[in-house]
Amino acid sequence: MSVMTTPHLNFRGDAAKALEFYQSVFGGDLVLVTNEDAHSVESPEEAKQIKFGQVTGANGFRIMAYDVPSGTSYDPGEKPVFISVRSDSADEITELWNRLSAGSTIVEDLGPSGFAPLYGMLKDPFGVLWVLDVAVPWDAS
């Protein structure tokens, strides 16, 4: 048996747009189940909001999201979480960076760092912070 960890993002009405954006960046299959689809509409104006959503890529990329109901408190905070995307390929990280950075705010430009050949951080149009880097073995010497 194996265990898989998948980041699950919370939104207030933007989950579908965010997941569609992530699919456009990373590819893969998109699943969007609305409150209406799940027969769990508590408020008519939230019928089309996402109850369950995910993007699953053949390359191993996975992310989930939903829209927090209006009756539930929601405060995304300033930096509640970073989504880290790592690869051993500088070309792959650069390609993903170029797509993910569209409409995003660059926090740290993609470039060499003290711990990785390429590292960058951005905040996407939905307020999610992403870290992309080329993974290399750490040598503390």
Share of the chain above pLDDT 90, in %: 75
Please write the tens of the pLDDT for every residue from 67-113.
999 998 988 887 677 899 999 999 999 999 999 999 999 999 999 98
State which CATH number among 3.30.2320.50, 1.10.287.3240, 3.30.460.10, 3.30.720.110 fits the domain covering 82-134: 3.30.720.110
Domain ranges of the chain: 8-67, 82-134
pTM: 0.85
Asked if the model's pLDDT at residue 56 lies above 80, the reply is yes
Positive/negative CA dihedral, 65, 70, 73, 75: positive
34-49 mean pLDDT? 93
pLDDT digits (tens, 9 = 90+) for 110-119: 999 878 899 9
Displacement of CA 83 from its chain's centroid (Å): 6
As a whole number of angstroms, the distance between CA 134 and CA 140 comes to 17
Q: With cut-offs at 50, 70 and 90, classify the pLDDT of residue 31.
A: very high
